[in-house]
Structure 1
Amino acid sequence: MTTAHASPADGPEPLPFEELRVPVPGGDLAVLRWAAADPGAPTVLALHGITANGLSWGPVARRLAGRATLVAPELRGRAGSRDLPGPYGIAVHADDAAAAAEALGLRRPVLAGHSMGAFTAAVAAVRHPGRFGPLLLVDGGLAFPAPTHLSADELMTAVIGPAMDRLSMTFRDRAAYRAFWRAHPAFADRWTPEVDAYIQRDLVGEEPELRSSCRPAAVRTDGVGLFDGDVLAAVRHLPSPATLLWADRGLMDEPQGLYDEERLARAALDGTGVTPLRAPDTNHYTVLTGELGAALVADLLLKAAAGPTGRLPGSRASARRGRAC
């Protein structure tokens, strides 16, 4: 049992969770699980973003209020899965998600993903069409071809911007890391204990040289891989219906988000089975971690789960109880 580090934020405390280890090629994948009280409740398998971790889904788990089990793998090269070796890439993460679903005995769970996790979810659904049920893509999953004149480094800056900068930084203590993130426009006046727990889980090392758990090689490979042809095409070949929930503000809380009505119209999603839905008053991060966004995501997951459900009847995984750190 671990405990959340003190934060000067107001809001709900992080829910307790289990941390599981499931077998994948190269070792064990860390998986966070918030279990429903009813073992027959539906299950959601949720994938995080490019430099995130499983606790980004903590606010959604709370809003599910025990009506569904939420399972959040931590992608190789991040947080609890930091020591899993490469190769990295969207297809590798998609196969890891399918392996986690199999190891945990999930039967067609709702599949969700945020940001890069949404692209991974779409690829997982295409590569493993019998494994997953309906999809929820949160501010990701639909993209356009990359500008061909950009170098790999320029492309990475275009994909995640300043989020890449911290991967080469060290922090003297957890308070310094908290201050770094609280200065981010997306979080500046939206800090909560749940956000704090999510951010603090990213730290590894010892004071005064704490650093992000994210492997730069994994982030770079995955970021460039978002523009791979198969990744771009996946959203148009989904075997199950999907909702694309898009935030109306961007990564830096700017008024222009990743998607808007005009861009979605140009994407010509008719006939793909993808239904776009705007998440008002949210940015790229708070669409998942903010109170309004988390409530909307939870409601959409429950609506999707009203069809085929996923369960946790048994597992090959070993488990230990935990709390947000």
Structure 2
Amino acid sequence: MATESPQPLDIPVDGGELRALRWGTGDAVILAAHGITGSAASWQAVAGHLPAGWSLIAVDLRGRGGSTDLPGPFGFDRHSADLNAAAHHIGAGQYVLTGHSMGAYVALLAAVRSPEPYRRLVLVDGGIPLPVPEGLDPDVVMRATLGPALARLSRTFDSVEEYFDFWRAHPAFKDSWSDDLEFYLRYDLTGEPGALRSRAQPSAVRADGHDLLSSGQKINEALRALKLPTVLLTAPNGMMGDPPPFLPPALVAEAQAQSPSLDAEVVPDTNHYTILFNPPAAQTVMSHLTT
């Protein structure tokens, strides 16, 4: 059964308005950030498991989704400032803060730089430094790791169905198609039939990718400064659906050694994407958000 559609919100930030999506009407609020080429709609399946009394508000980071026209600069500092601005604007008391993939790094930095609005942090397959060999071209690394998710940004599609077919061929989704995934993919599209394209801006993705690959020291410092109770949920499979994982166990253990506030748990039978979209995994994520 598909999750109920969310309500849009517009949040004033530097340079314009940040679009957000809200599921639920409860006073206990989860504030969420998405991955590098994603959007707020990536939280649709997780939102389907909201318990009574809760809401989930996911932002479209600038350069994506309904925030596609917000100007740069991009990067972790700008996104974490936007996330904190959203928390202060909505004013719902203390939030549970979460992020998936790149959004986990943004959420971590937001929590360390302005911890007052938050009471817990849940990082979903992201938020700890990645090992990047010296001398590698960041664009080459991004193409190798993101694969089709990045390739789609330079393409147009004749129809929604053609876009669905493009994603059906992605190895991460070969056994994991759903109405919630289709909602996410429809939300990503803009333009007219014959020239549909992703709303993720290539310039924003490129800037954020470079930041991700060069921010190891910044992320380590944030982990050491982290005071909020935090859980890191990881997938055993990576961006292309198979091992190795996006966050290998050795890296997770290193992060836990640096941050006494950090607990970690593997969500079984998931990859980097399906940790949000598979119903059992989405339920697991929600259980950690509302504990």
TM-score (norm 1): 0.85
Name the CA distance, whole Å, in 1 between partners of 2:65 and 2:241: 25
Amino acid at match of 2:12: P
Return the offset for 1:271. 4.3
Of Structure 1 and Structure 2, the greater helix share is in 2
Q: Quick one: which of 94, 98, 107 aligns to 1:121?
A: 107
1:90, 1:231 within 8 Å by CA — same for their partners in 2?
Answer: no
SS in 1 for 2:4: coil
**What residue number does 2:90 align with?**
104
Return the offset for 1:133. 1.7
Name the CA distance, whole Å, in 1 between partners of 2:175 and 2:122: 27
**Per-residue deviation, residues 24-71 of structure 1 (Å, max 9, x unmatched):** 0000000100123x4xx3110011101111111011111114341100
**Per-residue deviation, residues 156-211 of structure 1 (Å, max 9, x unmatched):** 22452332111000101100000000111111221111000101111111110111
**What residue number does 1:288 align with?**
276
Structure with the bigger RCO (C-alpha within 8 Å, sep 6+) is 1
CA separation of 1:235 and 1:271: change in aligned 2, threshold 3 A: closer
1:237, 1:272 within 8 Å by CA — same for their partners in 2?
Answer: no
Unaligned 5+ segments in structure 2 are: none
Name the CA distance, whole Å, in 2 between partners of 1:60 and 1:271: 27
Name the CA distance, whole Å, in 2 between partners of 1:151 and 1:255: 23
Name the CA distance, whole Å, in 1 between partners of 2:141 and 2:270: 25
Runs of 4+ with >6 A deviation: none
Q: Quick one: which of 9, 32, 41 aligns to 2:21?
A: 32
Name the CA distance, whole Å, in 2 between partners of 1:89 and 1:260: 24
Is 1:174 the counterpart of 2:160? The answer is: yes
CA separation of 1:56 and 1:271: change in aligned 2, threshold 3 A: closer
1:204, 1:213 within 8 Å by CA — same for their partners in 2?
Answer: yes
SS in 2 for 1:201: helix
Identity between Structure 1 and Structure 2 (%) = 43
Amino acid at match of 2:243: P
**What residue number does 1:321 align with?**
none
**What residue number does 1:84 align with?**
70
1:1-325 superposed matches below 5 A: 12-36=1-25, 38=26, 41-226=27-212, 227-228=214-215, 229-269=217-257, 271-303=259-291
Name the CA distance, whole Å, in 2 between partners of 1:271 and 1:183: 39
Return the offset for 1:91. 1.0
Amino acid at match of 2:283: A
CA separation of 1:204 and 1:104: change in aligned 2, threshold 3 A: same
TM-score (norm 2): 0.95
RMSD: 1.5
Return the offset for 1:230. 1.6
Amino acid at match of 1:14: T
Return the offset for 1:243. 0.2
